[in-house]
Structure 1
Amino acid sequence: MTDQTLAGKTILMSGGSRGIGLAIALRAAADGANIAILAKTDTPHPHLEGTVHSAADRIREAGGQALAIVGDVRNDDDITEAVLKTTGEFGGIDIVVNNASAIDLSGSLDLSPKKYDLMQDVNVRGTFMLSRAAVPLLRESGNPHILSLSPPLNPSPRWLGAHTGYTLSKFGMTMVTLGLAAEFAPDGIAANTLWPRTTIATAAVQNLLGGDRVMAASRTPEIYADAAYLVLTSPSRENTGQSLIVEDVLEESGVTDFSGYAAVPGTPDDRLFPDIFLD
């Protein structure tokens, strides 16, 4: 898509202590980017790897500058503080990555009100509020981007009826992003979504989507990170308002062999587990 790099660019990311968010941060760090991570994991979780502090250490080891911000994307004061701290540390914001996401695939009768509210607050409201708070800074950037890790809108009964609460929150995340793309196009701020064709080997897949069997049939987070890098280095005025697919982005850049991204080396593409929301 572009010959640009992320050297010297500043990214504000929600979540990112582990998994896809951390992989995106490490890919950017290899260019020498500045990455501020707003995440709740201040101390080690008994069942999840990584904290906001260990993620910052890995970013620095990869060649980037890091700012660990302990906070909750559901909290407006934490969002304001994250924007202020990021600007104070790095002088501005060039990119917002809406990575934080809550997931519960329960059916409607089994989904607790608390979990429903959590998904709406993190996925939809968090995406809107963090992006909105950064807009004044993004307007000052030479190539500003908002990237949300959410799927294309696909209101088929297959997905609407599968897990209505979660589907609503992820489609809401996408609608927020596409709305921001239209609203702030005159400012040159790109806003896009990105979603993979296969499951990605993360804690969510391990714990919620099928355990070891699906993990073994997934791709690594690095495929998501490489696609995100291409989006974030593309010209913001030319690449906005799109619901992008990871593999399509890579193919358009000339990458056709995805075998190196298999979580289990040698797994053929036709044995990989398809991600949800895509027909």
Structure 2
Amino acid sequence: MPPTLQGKTVFVTGGTRGIGRAIAVKCAQNGAHVVVAARNASSSSTVVAEIEGAGGQAIAVPCDIQCEDQVAAAVQAAVARFGGIDVVVNNASTLVLKPTADISMSEYDLMAAINARGAFAVVKHALPYLRNSTNAHILTLCPKPQLESKWFEKNTAYAVSKFTMGMMAFGLAAEQKPFGIASNTLWPFSTIDTDGLAECGNAQFQARPRKPAILADAAYWIITQKSTAFTGNFCLDEIVLRESGVDDFDRYNSVEGTALADLSQDHLIADEQLSRLAELRRK
């Protein structure tokens, strides 16, 4: 039987736009109940309508993951509506690309509170319900941690916040293995065409991105694997899809006709992941 999320409850942070929204809709198309937790409550009704139109059931819960009480309330709302939680997708994140001399402490604190602490809080409050699931997954949108100067020399604060997420995800894989809970990460090879990309002010990143659908498809594959077998992995979207049999990547291009070599490559990608991807592309 093909993998499915039929009847499973997926809790997605930052799910009202961009990557989170694409993942939420993809899960709904495959039978999931979806809980969208996001600060942007104004667009929640349209997201719920889109999810339900895709065949799933959904609720949207206003939640600033910087605030633990709001996280706890959002988790309880999910459990009250759907009876439990099977998958947590830690997608919510904030991006400030500035060197140490230029970044303000309020900007640093925002990244630390959302990217690292917020993701941890969501998992902490969801754990009692994940432990009751027959195939529980935690998926965190972050890169593989790397101790190379090139990743820190321009944006130390951002790199630290995202690599901290990766260390948390890896730690959770070890810590929660006895309970059958998988913890993996996912990161894109290319930049992704979202509102956040439009706001980043980097012309090179913005030139030839891919659509959020590529991350949604990769995320779906990860969270439908057997949780006791697929855990502790740092995944790159294109590698995941190529290794699962996908060979048509043109459909993900935001700019039609973009060659693989011309895609706007994201940053913080480990060298071994680039080597593996090059190998897969040659096949």
What is the aligned partner in structure 2 of residue 175 from structure 1?
167
Normalised by the size of structure 1, how large is the TM-score?
Answer: 0.94
Query: CA separation in 2, counterparts of 1:175 and 1:167?
Result: 12
Aligned residue type for 1:7? Q
What is the aligned partner in structure 2 of residue 46 from structure 1?
none
What is the aligned partner in structure 1 of residue 249 from structure 2?
258
- Following TM superposition, by how much is the alpha carbon of 1:209 offset from its aligned partner in structure 2, in angstroms? 4.8
Aligned-residue CA RMSD (Å)? 1.2
CA contact (8 A) 1:215 1:263 kept: no
SS in 1 for 2:192: coil
SS in 2 for 1:36: strand
Query: CA separation in 2, counterparts of 1:187 and 1:214?
Result: 40
**Is 1:275 the equivalent of 2:266?**
yes
Unaligned runs of 5+ in 2: 272-283
**Is 1:190 the equivalent of 2:189?**
no
CA contact (8 A) 2:205 2:265 kept: no
Q: How many residues align?
A: 270
SS in 1 for 2:41: coil
Query: CA separation in 2, counterparts of 1:156 and 1:202?
Result: 28
Query: CA separation in 2, counterparts of 1:88 and 1:146?
Result: 20
Normalised by the size of structure 2, how large is the TM-score?
Answer: 0.93
- The structure with higher relative contact order (CA 8 Å, sep 6+) is 1
- Following TM superposition, by how much is the alpha carbon of 1:257 offset from its aligned partner in structure 2, in angstroms? 2.6
Query: CA separation in 1, counterparts of 2:201 and 2:239?
Result: 24
Aligned residue type for 1:217? R
What is the aligned partner in structure 2 of residue 99 from structure 1?
91
SS in 2 for 1:143: coil
- Following TM superposition, by how much is the alpha carbon of 1:210 offset from its aligned partner in structure 2, in angstroms? 2.2
Which ranges of 4 or more aligned residues in structure 1 deviate by more than 2 Å? Answer: 213-216
Q: For residues 195-231 of structure 1, what are the alpha-carbon distances to aligned partners after superposition, in whole Å with 9 as ceiling and x for unaligned? A: 01111111111110525x6434111000000000000
Q: For residues 109-160 of structure 1, what are the alpha-carbon distances to aligned partners after superposition, in whole Å with 9 as ceiling and x for unaligned? A: 1001001000000000011110111111001101000000000112211111
What is the aligned partner in structure 2 of residue 249 from structure 1?
240
SS in 2 for 1:66: strand
Query: CA separation in 2, counterparts of 1:207 and 1:155?
Result: 28
Query: CA separation in 1, counterparts of 2:252 and 2:230?
Result: 25
What is the aligned partner in structure 2 of residue 20 from structure 1?
19
Query: CA separation in 2, counterparts of 1:243 and 1:209?
Result: 28
**Is 1:34 the equivalent of 2:26?**
no
Partner residue of 2:214 out of 217, 223, 233: 223
- Following TM superposition, by how much is the alpha carbon of 1:98 offset from its aligned partner in structure 2, in angstroms? 0.3
Query: For 1:89-128, what aligned pairs fall within 5 Å after superposition?
Result: 89-128=81-120
What is the percentage of aligned positions where both structures have the same residue? 43
What is the aligned partner in structure 1 of residue 5 from structure 2?
6
Query: CA separation in 2, counterparts of 1:25 and 1:4?
Result: 16
What is the aligned partner in structure 2 of residue 47 from structure 1?
none
Q: For residues 30-77 of structure 1, what are the alpha-carbon distances to aligned partners after superposition, in whole Å with 9 as ceiling and x for unaligned? A: 01211111111122xxxxxxx222211211111111111012111111
Query: For 1:24-173, what aligned pairs fall within 5 Å after superposition?
Result: 24-43=23-42, 51-173=43-165
Query: CA separation in 2, counterparts of 1:185 and 1:42?
Result: 35
Query: CA separation in 1, counterparts of 2:64 and 2:182?
Result: 24
CA contact (8 A) 1:40 1:52 kept: no
